[in-house]
Amino acid sequence: MVHALTFNPEDGNIHIDGCNFVVRNGLTEADVKLQLHEFLRSESNHQNGYAWQMCRGFNLEGESAGLALCFHLDRLVAVHVGVTLPGIRLEGGWPTKAAIDQEVAFLRTSLGSQLARSFQGSQEEFSWGTAWVLFDAKGFLASAGIRYKN
């Protein structure tokens, strides 16, 4: 089964097709782990109040996608979104800048369409938080996601 991700522009919730669970602001780590256990690939607790859960097995606009869920003090505060585009060029096992630019363009178009924003800049503001899509030069990767307001 394909589990398509749909982003709601009204509240920042992420709906997962075929799953009776909505990723939303304030969820606990335990809630997500219980409901998304089949997608959970790894976890990381930084011992500073921040923890991450990385999930795979989704698609965004037909392309393979994953979510990295960021928790602060056991509450979901942000979700990073990544895609794997077919046929991207690698050098030494790593994507080229051109491949990363393709991912950024794809994410900008996909999230722009779903969130009804242009993403002409690197981020868009909403009543519920912020969404971003950009090239992260320090990490040398496409960076996209949503950050919820407290």
Q: Both tokens of residue 10?
A: 């009204």
How confident is the model over 40-54, as pLDDT tens digits? 999 999 999 999 999
Contacts for 49 with CB less than 8 Å, ≥ 6 apart = 72, 73
| CB proximity list for 116: less than 8 A, separation 6 or greater | 9
Measured CA to CA, the distance from residue 28 to residue 128 in angstroms comes to 18
Q: Looking at the whole model, is its pTM more than 0.85?
A: yes
Q: Any alpha helices (H) in 9-148, and if so which ranges?
A: 29-35, 97-115
Task: Give the model confidence (pLDDT) of 122-136 as tens digits.
Answer: 999 999 999 999 999
With bands split at pLDDT 50, 70 and 90, how would you rate the model's confidence at 101? very high
Residue ranges per structural domain of the chain: 5-148
